[in-house]
Structure 1
């Protein structure tokens, strides 16, 4: 079956029918894809990674829009697996921007010689499980094919960019793009009339930056969001030394928190604290950088109820203080969802943008977008002439990137068919009927790398176990899968993330089933669950 290619972790082998043969295939070369590749190679597997882009980095390759940056502390986001890497890399900012983040992931790819196992410009169109050989055959858009026993889809949570089906979009005579496909060469917006559709986390970052250079900016907002001040700053030499001396403690602290951040909730109920003291606490947190005002708050602020509403009104008043026009301020004040029920954007002067004479806020909930015209954008109330339209309209989260490939398991069933009413994957990892497939793109809705590393460790150790025991197949049992789906449904009903119509539940995509797309559990609870599964002999998995 082998011919011209040497059988090692770099190249795999070539079968008689011209299909490249590997032990494992990884789809994606972003944060989880690079680490999956590293771990599998360390375990002695021949492995090939396929990446749609022309470079590595995933999120930080595609999202080149102005203002894109971390909202978790830079030094908590990077990989923890290599002490050399931790000591060699200097984070320049407390919340690092896209260019530096992309450089970091390229540095990782080069330092660990990962590129020799990555095929760029390689969009996976299908992955079909061969029931006779117990192997996945993956086909790339250019016709290249590869086979492997194990398949890891490291395709990201927010990577399948989404633009609503606006009538007339192709008639627009100006330039347009989605923020997740920002041109590598950039966009010249200086002196132009620009429209931005969307005011989620991406829109908040983008709008703040481009408002500094455009001639006129029209922001089309459907949903007002709570935002927290980022308060970014440079990391000086002393802080750099302190960070590098404290990495074990930093990562240990992240492991202990629900979202894998540095921040821990105040164990007191906000309602038990006298109003004046409670307000002092709010103000103190508001003056802190990043997510502290969210994740170091009283614990019941993150639960539906009176404490949540008390802090929400505090946040609303902060918006009113910063926006000069009371009518515009009220448009920017969230009133239709609880604080924390949607992704909290961090901002650096976002609300002040609306005090500029050249910025117009349009409420498209009151006057919906009807179509894109050759000269701009038309709502039910008016038409706006634009030179550039930027769609900050989000993503088909978690399952979107999986559904854009034809992943076919036992009996010809596709993953898209199976996930039609929401994900059906035990612990988010393995789906019955899809042997040897590990979906690691639902790793975390918190500090991504901190939760993704332990997940990839678990998956690669499971693959190693299957190989060492001589098994041909591993997949979740139907019973374990069903029980997990019920757990997600019942547990999800109790948490804030399911209380608003957001990407957390797929509500931003027309026709998508409204279900929680990730686990309802904290990061420590998920690690404990996976450890329990292993301790009980991979309970919930069938191995053949």
Structure 2
């Protein structure tokens, strides 16, 4: 059997993996990328459900490394939909001749470090082996769909779909009775997209979230011209932005305005695009309970004004957390969908699911018939994909065992005991627009690889450096606005240790620590070499 050997093996063809492959090739490494799917795009390859789209502005999500790429690609909408996003990643791959370095349909099942050779052997599902000096697992944080273990799921005779494993062929919901379980960021996009097609749509909600309008719009010709002309300024702003967005930070506190001024401000925010409702809000939104409660009351009244059935409206209003406690979904026509005669909301805390039957979903109030079940139940966030790669480091140490009590990382890119192994875009990295954070990490990884090549050394981080960064992540909950019951802590996965999966210290601190590491010649990446 022929075993291909390369310098750098990248796993995953999402936004991070594509950039990692590009940087590795530009730095003169031989490189290969393995992708489980049959195309590129990562999240935007697998999530092709109706109305899947960005809630980060399109032009802030894409790549910034090439002026030519920036100028030749024109996003059609402020928040692009999945088909356009997938086209973009295919354009990038072909524009920079990266496809010939990719292997599709190659799901990784094992990655084992050979201590004698100082390299990795990576095996895919079909038994093919690859050997590489360095492995970069760009597997993403939202790439392992989660379906709860509900009794009877295997007995259902109809069609079952998960938002993260949506079929490539269009799904026709015309005249079908649909049960949708879950109302997170994906679920709230699907409901209005199919509400007019179905015979009935029953939505099962575990937790109500503070949903606000996405306020999408086409990008006008005037805006296109401004984007084209502003490449350097936009690149520089996004490279340094704390959130990874182009949004303007609001230094004003809520109590500096009168109640009337605040109401006007809330109205402007309600009609503003996407994450500006969080990033451009009053600076004390998450620290001043009175301002947060007032904003929540404003949103609750908006929901009541849209949803005609008072009981449904109340079920859609969160009662257990303020704004920012959970990842806020953004919607287009979601609340209005509940005014349609065939759409019904079931609150699971009030009416729990007992089992899935052959013909539908049984709750404590009885069975509701369904032809199709949509599982909009989220992902094993942060560590899910990495823990399933079969990674074995020094002494055969399993990564999933090393992370049994939660992830242990240095700068969110490497773990002690796993030489020449990196995972940009994984846990302990981001707290904002993910591609901007993972881009910082990819650049860090390439700099370390160049150092390793020049030194002829194995890159293996100092356990003390890992401990220090991990402690910082776990001890910084006070900096995080998210509840420990959210999926950002893994709380949605039964049996998973609840632990910090984000970087609550933010991008500024990450960039500072990367700069400090560079100033030492990345010493912490080489101190642990025997």
Q: Does 1:126 find its partner at 2:110?
A: yes
Aligned counterparts, 1:12-161, within 5 A: 18-161=2-145
Q: Does 1:487 find its partner at 2:472?
A: yes
* Cα pair 1:367 1:379 within 8 Å, conserved: yes
Q: For the residues of structure 2 that align with 1:173 and 1:418, how far apart are their CA atoms?
A: 40
Q: Does 1:235 find its partner at 2:207?
A: no
* Cα pair 1:304 1:496 within 8 Å, conserved: no
TM-aligned CA deviation for residue 500 of structure 1: 4.5
Report the equivalent of 2:420. Answer: 436
Report the equivalent of 1:449. Answer: 435
Instruction: Identify the match of residue 504 of structure 2 among 520, 525, 534.
Output: 520
* Cα pair 1:337 1:500 within 8 Å, conserved: no
Q: For the residues of structure 1 that align with 2:122 and 2:257, how far apart are their CA atoms?
A: 58
Q: For the residues of structure 1 that align with 2:209 and 2:344, how far apart are their CA atoms?
A: 17
Q: For the residues of structure 1 that align with 2:402 and 2:289, how far apart are their CA atoms?
A: 36
Instruction: Provide, for residues 353-395 of structure 1, a one-character-per-residue CA deviation record: whole Å limited to 9, x for no partner.
Output: 1111111100111222121111011112221100100000000
Q: Does 1:537 find its partner at 2:525?
A: no
Aligned counterparts, 1:304-315, within 5 A: 305-315=289-299
Q: So what's the TM-score if we normalise by structure 2?
A: 0.97
Q: For the residues of structure 2 that align with 1:303 and 1:396, how far apart are their CA atoms?
A: 29
Aligned counterparts, 1:266-277, within 5 A: 266-277=250-261
TM-aligned CA deviation for residue 344 of structure 1: 1.1
Q: For the residues of structure 2 that align with 1:299 and 1:265, how far apart are their CA atoms?
A: 8
* Cα pair 2:480 2:504 within 8 Å, conserved: yes
Instruction: Provide, for residues 82-141 of structure 1, a one-character-per-residue CA deviation record: whole Å limited to 9, x for no partner.
Output: 111111111011110000000000001111111111100000001000010010110000
Structure 2 unaligned runs (5+)?
none
Instruction: Identify the match of residue 408 of structure 1 among 383, 389, 392.
Output: 392
Q: For the residues of structure 1 that align with 2:73 and 2:508, how far apart are their CA atoms?
A: 27
* Cα pair 2:431 2:507 within 8 Å, conserved: no
Instruction: Identify the match of residue 203 of structure 1 among 174, 187, 194.
Output: 187
TM-aligned CA deviation for residue 308 of structure 1: 2.2
Q: Does 1:379 find its partner at 2:375?
A: no
TM-aligned CA deviation for residue 228 of structure 1: 1.6
Q: Does 1:322 find its partner at 2:334?
A: no
TM-aligned CA deviation for residue 239 of structure 1: 1.5
SS in 2 for 1:254: helix
Aligned counterparts, 1:153-192, within 5 A: 153-192=137-176
SS in 2 for 1:496: coil
Instruction: Provide, for residues 463-485 of structure 1, a one-character-per-residue CA deviation record: whole Å limited to 9, x for no partner.
Output: 111111111x1122111111111
Q: Does 1:460 find its partner at 2:461?
A: no
* Cα pair 1:228 1:291 within 8 Å, conserved: no
Report the equivalent of 1:332. Answer: 316
Instruction: Provide, for residues 480-509 of structure 1, a one-character-per-residue CA deviation record: whole Å limited to 9, x for no partner.
Output: 111111111111233212x25111000110
Q: For the residues of structure 2 that align with 1:316 and 1:383, how far apart are their CA atoms?
A: 31
SS in 2 for 1:342: coil
Instruction: Identify the match of residue 470 of structure 1 among 438, 441, 456.
Output: 456
SS in 2 for 1:151: strand
Q: Alpha carbons of 1:113 and 1:419: their partners in 2 closer, same or farther (altered >3 Å)?
A: same
TM-aligned CA deviation for residue 219 of structure 1: 0.2
SS in 2 for 1:476: coil
SS in 2 for 1:344: coil
TM-aligned CA deviation for residue 530 of structure 1: 0.7
Cα RMSD (Å): 1.3
Instruction: Provide, for residues 313-357 of structure 1, a one-character-per-residue CA deviation record: whole Å limited to 9, x for no partner.
Output: 222222112111111111000111221121111111110111111
TM-aligned CA deviation for residue 230 of structure 1: 1.0
* Cα pair 2:448 2:459 within 8 Å, conserved: no
Q: So what's the TM-score if we normalise by structure 1?
A: 0.94
* Cα pair 2:192 2:334 within 8 Å, conserved: yes
Q: For the residues of structure 1 that align with 2:236 and 2:196, how far apart are their CA atoms?
A: 40
Q: For the residues of structure 2 that align with 1:187 and 1:447, how far apart are their CA atoms?
A: 30
Q: For the residues of structure 2 that align with 1:35 and 1:137, how far apart are their CA atoms?
A: 23
TM-aligned CA deviation for residue 272 of structure 1: 3.1
SS in 1 for 2:88: helix
SS in 2 for 1:22: strand
Q: For the residues of structure 2 that align with 1:273 and 1:526, how far apart are their CA atoms?
A: 34
Count how many residue pairs are aligned between Structure 1 and Structure 2. Answer: 526
Instruction: Provide, for residues 494-533 of structure 1, a one-character-per-residue CA deviation record: whole Å limited to 9, x for no partner.
Output: 3212x25111000110111111102112222211211111
Report the equivalent of 1:424. Answer: 408
Report the equivalent of 1:8. Answer: none
Q: For the residues of structure 2 that align with 1:515 and 1:452, how far apart are their CA atoms?
A: 20
Greater shift in the superposed pair: 413-422 or 530-539 = 530-539
Q: Alpha carbons of 1:255 and 1:282: their partners in 2 closer, same or farther (altered >3 Å)?
A: farther
Q: Does 1:358 find its partner at 2:342?
A: yes
* Cα pair 2:179 2:201 within 8 Å, conserved: yes
SS in 2 for 1:242: helix
Structure 1 unaligned runs (5+)?
1-16
TM-aligned CA deviation for residue 539 of structure 1: 4.2
* Cα pair 1:342 1:500 within 8 Å, conserved: no
* Cα pair 1:338 1:500 within 8 Å, conserved: no
Q: For the residues of structure 1 that align with 2:359 and 2:288, how far apart are their CA atoms?
A: 45
Q: Alpha carbons of 1:347 and 1:79: their partners in 2 closer, same or farther (altered >3 Å)?
A: same
Q: For the residues of structure 1 that align with 2:523 and 2:127, how far apart are their CA atoms?
A: 39
